[in-house]
């Protein structure tokens, strides 16, 4: 017998589940809105979403059924040092899941 999830988070069967379970969290919604338009760096995600821990926000969205890829890019920081910041982007499968979830919300008369 499975013990209940102590976090209370919805649990899809896996991160690659066929369905995004959705969210009503304003930070999640702001992050998804920008990622549907373009890739976004971790630092910019913090600013756009209004959070201090973009990777935790992305982890929450992954727990809800998205994969959200992160590519490490080469970058030279202000001190001239090579660094590898992450840039998040949605796969085509993620985009499809989000659009399906939004369409379900519109069918029910809710806002997506």
What domain range is 96 assigned to? 26-105
User: Which tens digits make up the pLDDT trace of 48-64?
Assistant: 999 999 999 999 999 99
Whichever domain contains 38, its CATH number is: 1.10.10.10
Number of domains comprising the chain = 1
Q: Is the pLDDT of residue 9 over 60?
A: no
Domain assignment present for residue 9? The answer is: no
Q: How confident is the model at residue 106 (pLDDT cuts 50, 70, 90)?
A: confident
Domain assignment present for residue 3? The answer is: no
Q: How confident is the model at residue 12 (pLDDT cuts 50, 70, 90)?
A: very low
Domain assignment present for residue 8? The answer is: no
Of 33, 39, 98, nearest in space to 71 by CA? 39
Domain assignment present for residue 50? The answer is: yes
**Surface-to-core class of residue 57, CB atoms within 10 Å of its CB (0-12 exposed, 13-18 middle, 19+ buried):** buried
Domain assignment present for residue 4? The answer is: no
pTM of the model: 0.78
């Amino acid at each position: 017998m499975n013990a209940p999830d102590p976090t209370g988070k919805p649990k899809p069967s896996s991160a690659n589940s066929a369905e995004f379970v959705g969210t009503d969290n304003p930070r999640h919604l702001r992050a998804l809105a920008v990622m549907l338009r373009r890739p976004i760096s971790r630092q910019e995600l913090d600013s756009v979403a209004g959070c201090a821990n973009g990777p935790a926000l992305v982890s929450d969205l992954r727990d809800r059924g998205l994969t959200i890829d992160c590519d490490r890019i080469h970058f030279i920081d202000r001190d001239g040092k090579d660094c590898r910041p992450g840039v998040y982007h949605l796969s085509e499968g993620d985009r499809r899941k989000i659009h399906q979830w939004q369409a379900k919300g519109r069918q029910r008369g809710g806002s997506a």
